[in-house]
Amino acid sequence: MRLPLPLSELIKLMAGIYIHIPFCKQACYYCDFHFSTSLKYKDELLQALVKEIQLQKGYLDGETIETIYFGGGTPSVLSSDEINLLLGTITNLHTVSSNAEITLEANPDDLDREKLSLLSKTDINRLSIGIQSFFDDDLKWMNRVHKANEAESSVKRAQDTGIENITVDLIYGYPLLNDQKWKQNLEKVFELNVPHVSSYSMTVEPRTALATFIKNKKQPAMDDQQSAAQFLILMDAMQQQGFEHYEISNFCKPGHYSKHNSNYWKGVKYLGIGPSAHSFNGETRQWNIPNNTKYIQALQQASIPSETEILTETDRLNEYIMTSLRTIWGLDLNKLNTIAEAASSQLNIAAQRYFENGWIEQKDQIINLTQTGKLYADHIASELFF
């Protein structure tokens, strides 16, 4: 399989900026990201975002910005003027690459022709559309805002507008989704000819509505065997359609991997702006308070409401193991040794059982998960931790 980009080139990638937009029209039952369903303080929060961008201008040490990512929440609730305000603030304070990848997460119901026309006049050049399913009963079960027909039409409208760098999200492994419906969802994505797909197994996070429904016996628990079987269906279908499985949950046509998320997995520096956003500069990790009101109040006083953790050698080893094993580029034993001398020898001892059962494989100094191993990625990584 051809690698999306050689490791030597990935190392050259510059820094990224993530902007968290904490607003949604309604709460999906499974979601545990930070957001509010009230837009009452949207103007105040936008000004706080601008202020934080200004206060954080030195965090990335002047590195060129290669990627900007609007996540959430639902960033497509922003107008084009509001997007331009945030992008303009960034470009005034940072050197942004002329071919920077600038992504906006969007819900299908937001992407009407007028919205897409206005977006095409901003510097947004990549859309991440949260489709999740092409079946109305599934979308209702998730408490999604959009309908199945909006999911399909939003992609087509974006393509008609000239936005072709599109990724869509799909979810599998939940009670309503039998294997036949899952295959139909995948077939619909292939028909739409999108170059990138992110697909996740339904997980039950604490303090979500879904967790409460299951606890109160109003919904059945998720079935791990169903999830594993549908993940295998996903991997086989993507391979047949010429997609590269470059990260556990991400697939792309050659050359269309997400630069921004690839940077996360390769340990590139990034700055997170907004309530609950995280930042990483190689030595420390920083995260903002997940509270809109407190975030706004702090920024009005020119203070960043964040906490910082200094990463120990063990932290950096374990983080590299966790992220690298998820990717097509794999775990580089030489890089592991640059974090801690002789770390590769210790890891090889712990990994022996997974070589023997065929869950991982090694070529030269690179360790990768096999297809079977991808079913147990988190477990394998945790067992290899220092």
pLDDT tens-digit readout, 301-310? 999 999 999 9
pLDDT tens, position by position, 32-79: 899 888 888 999 999 999 999 999 999 999 999 999 999 999 999 999
pLDDT at position 39: 87
Tokens (6 digits) for 11: 């190392």
Mean pLDDT over 112-140 rounds to: 96
pLDDT at position 13: 52
**What is the set of domains in the chain, with CATH numbers?**
7-265 (3.80.30.20), 313-384 (1.10.10.920)
Report the percent of the chain where pLDDT is more than 70: 97
pLDDT at 4 over 70: no
What rounded mean pLDDT belongs to the chain? 94
pLDDT at 137 over 80: yes
pLDDT at position 11: 42
Mean pLDDT over 239-259 rounds to: 97
Mean pLDDT over 170-196 rounds to: 98
pLDDT at 1 over 90: no
pLDDT tens, position by position, 314-341: 999 999 999 999 999 999 999 999 999 9
Residues in the chain: 386
Mean pLDDT over 98-116 rounds to: 96
* Cα–Cα distance for residue pair 320/313, rounded to 1 Å: 11
Report the percent of the chain where pLDDT is more than 90: 92
pLDDT at position 15: 95
Mean pLDDT over 142-155 rounds to: 96
pLDDT at 98 over 90: yes
Cβ atoms of residues 103 and 127 within 8 Å: yes
* Cα–Cα distance for residue pair 142/334, rounded to 1 Å: 44
At which residue do the structure tokens 């170059």 appear? 195
